[in-house]
Amino acid sequence: MSIPMLQSSRLLLRGHTLEDFDAYAAMWADPAVTRHIADGAPKSTEEAWTSFLRIAGHWQMLGYGSWAVVEKASGRVLGATGFGERRRDRGAALDGVPELGWTFASSAAGRGYATEAVNAVLTWGRAHLGTARVIAVIAPENIASIRVAQKCGFKEFQRALSAGRPRVFLDRVL
Pairwise CA distance, residues 67 & 137, whole Å: 18
1 in Cβ contact with 60 (< 8 Å): yes
Pairwise CA distance, residues 142 & 138, whole Å: 7
pLDDT digits (tens, 9 = 90+) for 119-128: 999 999 999 9
User: Is CATH 3.40.50.720 the right assignment for the domain spanning 6-173?
Assistant: no
Torsion sign, CA atoms 31, 50, 57, 9: positive
106 falls in which pLDDT band (50, 70, 90)? very high
According to the model, what pLDDT value does residue 12 have? 98
Query: Measured in whole angstroms, how far is the alpha carbon of residue 74 from the centre of its chain?
Result: 22
Domain boundaries defined on the chain: 6-173
Residue 89 has pLDDT above 80, yes or no: no
95 falls in which pLDDT band (50, 70, 90)? confident
* % of the chain at pLDDT higher than 70: 99
Q: What 3-state class would DSSP assign to 108?
A: helix
- Average pLDDT value over all residues in the chain: 93
pLDDT digits (tens, 9 = 90+) for 6-46: 999 999 999 999 999 999 999 999 999 999 998 889 999 99
Supply the DSSP symbol for 153: T
Pairwise CA distance, residues 86 & 9, whole Å: 30
